[in-house]
Amino acid sequence: MANEEVTGMRGKTVLVTGATSGIGYYTARGLAVLGAKILLHGRSARDGEAAVARIKREIAGADVTFIGADLASLSEIRRLAAEVPEQSSRLDVLINNAGLVRDRRSVTVDGFEMTFAVNHLAPFYLTHLLIDQIKASAPARIITVASSAHRNAKLDFDDLKAPPSFA
């Protein structure tokens, strides 16, 4: 089937976090094939622009824009959320895909353990900041991608900045 015949997402805007490679990239690419306007998020401008160029090269007429932000920083998440309405008045789908796993303790600029911040706090906070735009675009969807890695995590919910065990 030719790309112009596949229009299931035409007129829809989708933000995909962590979309410069892997599942996020292929999700963004697949939605671009369906005609969606893609806001492709990543931490690295170089990787983001390369992902955008690749999708545009492979899919005629793809509407893809890179938005960079480090999800390990609350101020960067706020900046990302402020940029989304500048790119599109609609946000029909938010796909919280970005994630990471560290084998050693590292801390964000805001003092949170890195894996917890990026995998849990970031999608929650980004969704919170974008929820009014998402509701205004109804019917809209929020999708959060996860793995089974959480099964090994132990959190102190009374102190989310407490150092976790990396043993």
* pLDDT tens, the chain, 167 aa long: 444 455 589 999 999 999 999 999 999 999 999 999 999 999 999 999 999 999 999 999 999 999 999 999 999 999 999 999 999 999 999 999 999 988 888 999 999 999 899 999 999 999 999 999 999 999 999 999 987 655 666 666 777 666 666 55
pLDDT on residue 151:
64
- Ordered by start, the domain boundaries in the chain are 13-146
Q: Which CATH class is domain 13-146?
A: alpha beta
Cα–Cα dist 134/94, whole Å: 8
Cα–Cα dist 67/49, whole Å: 9
Q: Please give the C-alpha separations between residue 139 and each of 19, 126, 132, 149, in angstroms, as whole numbers.
A: 23, 19, 12, 31
pLDDT on residue 55:
98
The runs of H, that is alpha helices, within the chain are 22-33, 45-58, 74-87, 114-116, 122-136
